[in-house]
Chain A
Amino acid sequence: MKQFLSFVRKEFLHVLRDRKTLFILFGMPVVQILIFGFALTNEVKNSTIVVVDNAKDLSSQAIITRIEASRYFQIEKNLVGSKELEAAFRTGEIKMAIVFPAGFAESLQHQNTAQIQVIADASDPNTATTLTNYVSSIIRDYQTEMNVTNQLPYRIQPELRMLYNPQLKGAPNFVPGVMSLVLMLVCVMMTAISIVKEKENGTMEILLVSPFKPIMVVLAKALPYLLLSIINVITILLLSVFVLDLPIVGSILLLFGESILFIITCLTLGIFISVKTDSQQTAMLISLVGMLLPTLLFSGFLFPIENMPLPLQVFSNIVPAKWYYLMVKSIMIKGLGFSYIWKETLILVGITLFLLLISLKSFKIRLA
């Protein structure tokens, strides 16, 4: 045990002394989160929208005036008819349309409730969400004002319709995406490289010749990266909660547990690569091309898997990041509990065990 601890200590020294790499490892998640984050929270100003006022009454006019007054919108022209509207959306001329039904004020007065249809171009989900949020809040403001002057409470219901991308895919989903990407990079690549480095240096020879169990060498090398990755997970979560205002809906404990599971999966992957290669260059290439690329392509983070051809969909199942991504999304955004993600957890455990088994089997206790 003492040997093991001394080994771990040495590994930490290696990691801490390589300042440049350390900087990249800790800086990368921060930068990624901020880049994605600002793309998301960027204010949307002067977006062209269309107001179709079929009511032309006091209430509808009041709301339109408020929308006009807002610096976020530029009301283009009063299109009538759904065909023209569709065409305008398709060419990208307009980002949003607000449709007042006929008899808007009447409905509000007699039934104390009325509806406004808000249609947004959700192919750019960030803008769509922002715009609809603005409109909703303007309508809410108006409603509150009205309720102060009138005795009976009015309710205006904005009916939101997202065109092209109804589930707003990609919106708050980048946090889980960045998490799987960063963990993949740190665990797989760094672990693989640090083990292969010993081979290149010739120090592996001495380690093998020592009575220290070869497999312990590998475990000790993986440990610092486990810790480093946990720090990265914490950083990303803190950033997303406090900087991006993206709350963690589900259990933080569960999220952490699943993250550690995924880290271990990545570490075994890194070990597997290191067992099979002899040069740092090869280890790096395999990690980048063989691991990082599939993570980007097949985790569902950037491209929806459902739209891929069947063979690729099947292939995506062996990409560990896909399962992690699904789980993080379920916990963080949908707030689901373990009972909903036990299947994904099991698959990830399976992949990890499989990788560990073949790594151990092919680990060489000699040089050749």
Chain B
Amino acid sequence: MHSVIVSHLTKIYGKEKKVAVDDVSFSVDKGEIFGLIGADGAGKTTIFRVLTTLLLPDGGSASVGGLDVVKDFEQIRQTIGYMPGKFSLYQDLTVEENLSFFATLFGTTVAENYELIKDIYVQIAPFKNRRAGKLSGGMKQKLALCCALIHKPNVLFLDEPTTGVDPVSRKEFWEMLKRLKEQDITILLSTTYMDEANLCDRIALIQEGKILSIDTPANIIKSYPDVLFAVKATNMHQLLQQLLRYPERLSSYAFGEFAHFSFKGTPDTDGLVTYLEQHGLKEVMVKTADITIEDSFIKLLG
């Protein structure tokens, strides 16, 4: 059963007629974690705002839980949870005050749905009397999630929930999301971190308002067309520059401690090693690379 359906959605901004979202279609199943992966300005926030009934689409249609985002906006607002891009909390209110405010706002109490947020809330409970403005990024993020969940929404919209948050807090955050998924809550989130893509059930890679690819992370990786190699040498910058000049190069770019490389024709790794060594690189090593979503995205971006 589809929880969210987006069909040929288009949104145009301002006098310059900037197309923020360009004929985007996708659907999200109930209980699924669906990720919109793309850079800032790709149109992710606009899609979220249309789905949360904050913006009217200029073309196409969308529904959440079978309700139309334009006609039935009032009913939708009762059933969704939303965490906007900046963790939108009241900085001058304490953790506890924020939470109980959002609970009453949605016509419920903290006690009523405490089970749902318990796992997350216990982590910030020691700071419940601290003002939200004095919390670190990771803590704010957890509080914002609690606030978005407190009325037990059917669909949860998280707009870049992990931006500016350190890797440890990000990992913890994803563990919470998995537990929420078990409660059959549909989660739609956006991120600029490619490594988070693997944690979603399905993802849409998005750039300049258009969806480049949409599938499970495994399928997207599987459909990568080239054979990809990981190359290593002592000097990364030099390595990248030499790879750029290699005649048989199809693509090459830095990837962590390696450079990822693909050949135009049949791969000839020995030839590549010889070439690099001839050009002054030391400890050259070439192996087959594990393809990641980031590789797929780079390929799709051209």
Q: Do chains A and B touch in the complex (CB under 8 A)?
A: yes
Q: Residues on A close to B: CB < 8 A?
A: 2-3, 6-7, 9-10, 13-14, 17-18, 201-203, 205-212, 365-368
| Cα-based distance from A10 to B101 in the complex (angstroms) | 7
Residue contact A211 to B78, C-beta cutoff 8 Å: yes
Residues of A within 8 A of B85 (CB): 202
Residue contact B86 to A13, C-beta cutoff 8 Å: no
**Chain B residue at minimal CB-CB distance from A4:** B104
Residues of B within 8 A of A365 (CB): 73
Which of B52, B56, B107 is in CB contact (< 8 Å) with A211?
Answer: B107
Closest-CB distance, B268 to chain A (whole angstroms): 54
| Cα-based distance from A201 to B144 in the complex (angstroms) | 13
Residue contact B82 to A10, C-beta cutoff 8 Å: no
Closest-CB distance, B91 to chain A (whole angstroms): 8
Residues of B within 8 A of A202 (CB): 84-86, 88
Residues of B within 8 A of A9 (CB): 101
Residues of A within 8 A of B199 (CB): none
Q: Mark B69-91, 1 if CB is under 8 A from A, else 0.
A: 00001100110101011101111
Residue contact A6 to B86, C-beta cutoff 8 Å: no
**Chain B residue at minimal CB-CB distance from A210:** B105
Interface residue total, chain B, C-beta cutoff 8 A: 31
Which of B28-36, B92-100, B226-234, B236-244 participates in binding chain A?
Answer: B92-100
Q: Which 5 A-B pairs have the closest CB atoms?
A: A6-B104, A202-B88, A211-B78, A367-B54, A203-B88
Closest-CB distance, B119 to chain A (whole angstroms): 22
Contacts A3-B107, A6-B101, A13-B97 hold; do A209 and B92 have CB atoms under 8 A apart?
no
Contacts A205-B84, A211-B74 hold; do A17 and B54 have CB atoms under 8 A apart?
no
| Cα-based distance from A103 to B14 in the complex (angstroms) | 88
Residues of B within 8 A of A368 (CB): 55-56
Residue contact B105 to A212, C-beta cutoff 8 Å: yes
**Chain A residue at minimal CB-CB distance from B83:** A206
Residue contact A205 to B100, C-beta cutoff 8 Å: no
Residue contact B53 to A209, C-beta cutoff 8 Å: yes
Closest-CB distance, B197 to chain A (whole angstroms): 25
Which of B55, B82, B86, B92 is in CB contact (< 8 Å) with A18?
Answer: B92
Residue contact B56 to A209, C-beta cutoff 8 Å: no
Residues of B within 8 A of A2 (CB): 104, 107
Which of B78, B88, B90, B100 is in CB contact (< 8 Å) with A6?
Answer: B100
Query: Does B106 interact with chain A (Cβ within 8 Å)?
Result: yes
Residue contact B92 to A206, C-beta cutoff 8 Å: no
Residue contact A6 to B105, C-beta cutoff 8 Å: yes
Which of A6, A203, A208, A211 is in CB contact (< 8 Å) with B89?
Answer: A203
Residues of A within 8 A of B80 (CB): 209
| Cα-based distance from A205 to B82 in the complex (angstroms) | 9
